[in-house]
Amino acid sequence: MRLTGWALAGAVMAATPAMAQDRPDQKAFFDLYKQLVETNTTLSVGSCTQAAAQIATRLKAAGFADADLHPFSIPDHPKEGGLVAVLPGSNAAAKPMLLLAHLDVVEAKREDWTRDPFTLVEEDGYYWGRGTVDDKAQAAIWADTLIRLKQSGPKPKRTIKLALTCGEETTFAWNGAEWLAKNKPDLVAAEFALNEGGGGRLDENGKRQTLAMQVGEKAAQNYTFLATNPGGHSSQPVPTNAIYQLADAVKAVQGYEFPVRFTDTTRAFFTAQAKVSAPLMGDAIGKLLADPTDKAADATVSADKAYHSTLRTTCVATLLNAGHAENALPQRATANVNCRIFPGETVDGTLAKLKELAGPAVTVTANQPVRPVAIPPKLTPAIIDPARKLAAKHFPGVPFAPFMSTGATDGIFLQAIGIPVYGVPGMFIDKDGSGTHGLNERIRVRSLYDGRDYLFDLVKAYAG
C-alpha cells in the first residue's frame, strides 16, 4: 500500500517528459516489470507464488546459486508464497541490508477498467495496469537491482537481501512478511530495510513538486462494535434499540479527537512545513510544536486532513450491519471501526479508549489479526544523508523531507523484530495517487525509469 496522502509545500520543478527504453539495461528491466504486472497476484484468483518463481528464475539466470534463493509458502496458502534472495557481500563485518516489496495487488475487475488491468499498456506517456505502482514497480526494481549488481562484477561490501512477500494488501490474508519475521528471522536479519512508502509527487502538468522518505508509520487495527437486544415487534418500539445504541457509540467515536503526539520524524516534518506554509498555517504549526495541547492551533493545522492524521491516532467507522427484518426491532447491530494507531501507542490502549467512548451498552473487541506496536525508526544520518544527497543529484531543486506514513505497510512486522524500516523516495506519482487501489492504476514512464536509476544508486551507496 503506497501512501500518497502526505503533502509538502515547495517550488514546482522541471517537467518530466516521456522517455523510451533506449538503454539495454532498461529493456531488460522492462521485460521483468511487464511479466510481473501481467502476472495476476490478487488474493481471489492470482498467485504470488507464481510471480516469485518467475523472479527466482531470472535471478538464477543472472548467476544466483540455488543456495541463495529461498522460495517459501505454507500448505494452507500455496498461492501466497514469496521469495528471499541473498547477494553475499565481501565484508563479513558489515551487517546485511534488506530490500522489501510485496507482490500481491488489490483486486481489479476488467469490466470496471478502461484497459485490461493485467495487460501492461503504454499510452499517453504512462504504463497502465494493476500494480504498475503498488507495489510491483518497487518489487521489479529491487529484483532488477540484484541482477545488475550480480552481473556488474565486484561484490558489494554489505550483503544485500531481497524479500518479496504476499498478503500486504488484505488484513485477513496470510502475510509473508509476518511469517518470515516469526519463523525465519535469521533469513531476513538486517541492520535496516528499504521498503515502499516514500516517493515523490507531481503536479497536474507532470512537474516534480516534492520528495519524501518515510521514517515510521502507523499501525492499522480494526475493532468491532456490537450492540445486542432481545428485539420484538416493530409496532411496539422501546428505548433500548440496538441500532440506536450502536449509533450513539459510533457518534461518540466521531466526536473524539485523540491527543496530538510527535515523533522525531513528525517534529522534523512539521518544522520544515512551518517554514514553507502560508503565514496562518505556519504560525499555527509553530504553536502546536511548542504546545501540543494548544486547541486553537490544533484546529487550524488539522483542517488539512493529511496533517490531522499525521498528528494523532485516528479511528473511523467503515462498515455497518444491523437488524434482521423490516418489521422487527433489531436484535444485533455491528460496526467496524478502523484505527490508525500512532507510533508507540498500543492496540490495547486504543481499545480501552474505544470502550470508554462506546459505553456499557456496546461491546468493543479488537479484530484479528492484531498488529504489533508501531516503532518509529530513528532519523539516522547514515540512512537519511545518502538518500538526500542522491536526491539532489537525480532531482535537483526538489524539496526533500522525512515524513511519517499515516497508512501501514509490512514494515511493521520487521520493526517488531528489531529491523528499522525506511520507505525510500525515488518514484514520482501523480497528485491524485495515480489510481493506486482504484481504477486505471498508472505510472509515468519517465518516473519509473528515473526512480529505478535513483534507487539503484541508493542501494549501491548503502551497500558500499
The structural domains of the chain, with segments of one domain joined by +, span 24-218+374-463, 219-366
Over the chain, what is the mean pLDDT?
94
Q: Does 5 score more than 50 pLDDT? A: no
Kindly report the length of the chain.
464
Least confident of 4-13, 18-27, 289-298, 374-383: 4-13
Read off the amino acid at residue 238.
Answer: V
Provide the pLDDT for residue 11.
36
Angstrom distances, CA of residue 278 to CA of 9, 80, 195, 284, 391 = 9, 47, 32, 10, 26
The answer to whether 423 and 403 have CB atoms below 8 angstroms apart is: no
User: Can you tell me the mean pLDDT for 45-51?
Assistant: 98
What CATH superfamily is the domain 24-218+374-463?
Zn peptidases (3.40.630.10)
Specify the fold of 219-366.
Answer: Alpha-Beta Plaits (3.30.70)
In this prediction, residue 407 has a pLDDT band, given cuts at 50, 70 and 90, of confident
Provide the pLDDT for residue 6.
44
The string of pLDDT tens digits covering residues 240-251 is 999 999 999 999
The string of pLDDT tens digits covering residues 264-275 is 999 999 999 999
DSSP assignment of 278-305 equals -HHHHHHHHHHHH-TT-HHHHHHHTTSH
Provide the pLDDT for residue 8.
43
The answer to whether 206 and 14 have CB atoms below 8 angstroms apart is: no
Q: Are strands 332-341 and 219-228 parallel, antiparallel or unpaired?
A: antiparallel
Distance CA 100, CA 142 (A): 8
Q: Does 376 score more than 70 pLDDT? A: yes
Provide the pLDDT for residue 4.
43
In this prediction, residue 20 has a pLDDT band, given cuts at 50, 70 and 90, of low
Q: Does 12 score more than 70 pLDDT? A: no
In this prediction, residue 1 has a pLDDT band, given cuts at 50, 70 and 90, of low
Provide the pLDDT for residue 431.
86
In sequence order, what are the beta bridge partners of 364? 225
Helix and strand numbers (H, E) in the chain are: 14, 19
Provide the pLDDT for residue 7.
42
Give the three cell numbers for residue 100: 522489501
Q: Does 17 score more than 80 pLDDT? A: no
**Strand ranges, E, within 62-206:** 69-74, 77-87, 97-102, 121-123, 126-128, 160-165, 192-195, 199-202
Q: Does 74 score more than 90 pLDDT? A: yes
Give the three cell numbers for residue 402: 522525512
The string of pLDDT tens digits covering residues 296-325 is 999 999 999 999 999 999 999 999 999 999
In this prediction, residue 204 has a pLDDT band, given cuts at 50, 70 and 90, of confident
Distance CA 167, CA 179 (A): 10
Provide the pLDDT for residue 40.
98
User: Can you tell me the mean pLDDT for 450-455?
Assistant: 98
The string of pLDDT tens digits covering residues 93-134 is 999 999 999 999 999 999 999 999 999 999 999 999 999 999
Q: Does 16 score more than 80 pLDDT? A: no
The string of pLDDT tens digits covering residues 214-249 is 999 999 999 999 999 999 999 999 999 999 999 999
In this prediction, residue 154 has a pLDDT band, given cuts at 50, 70 and 90, of confident
Predicted model pTM: 0.90
User: Can you tell me the mean pLDDT for 378-397?
Assistant: 97
Contacts 24+ apart (CB under 8 A), 25-31: 25/148, 26/449, 26/452, 28/144, 28/147, 29/140, 29/141, 29/144, 29/452
Q: What angle do CA 197, 133, 450 make, to 5 degrees?
A: 85
Distance CA 307, CA 311 (A): 6
The answer to whether 461 and 390 have CB atoms below 8 angstroms apart is: yes
Least confident of 12-16, 116-120, 175-179, 406-410: 12-16
Distance CA 161, CA 86 (A): 5
User: Can you tell me the mean pLDDT for 209-213?
Assistant: 92
Please tell me if the domain spanning 24-218+374-463 has the same topology as the one spanning 219-366: no
Read off φ and ψ for residue 242, nearest 5 degrees: -60, -35
Provide the pLDDT for residue 187.
98
Give the three cell numbers for residue 183: 519463523
Distance of CA 246 to the CA centre of its chain: 31
How much of the chain exceeds pLDDT 70, in percent? Answer: 96
The answer to whether 425 and 212 have CB atoms below 8 angstroms apart is: yes
In this prediction, residue 172 has a pLDDT band, given cuts at 50, 70 and 90, of confident
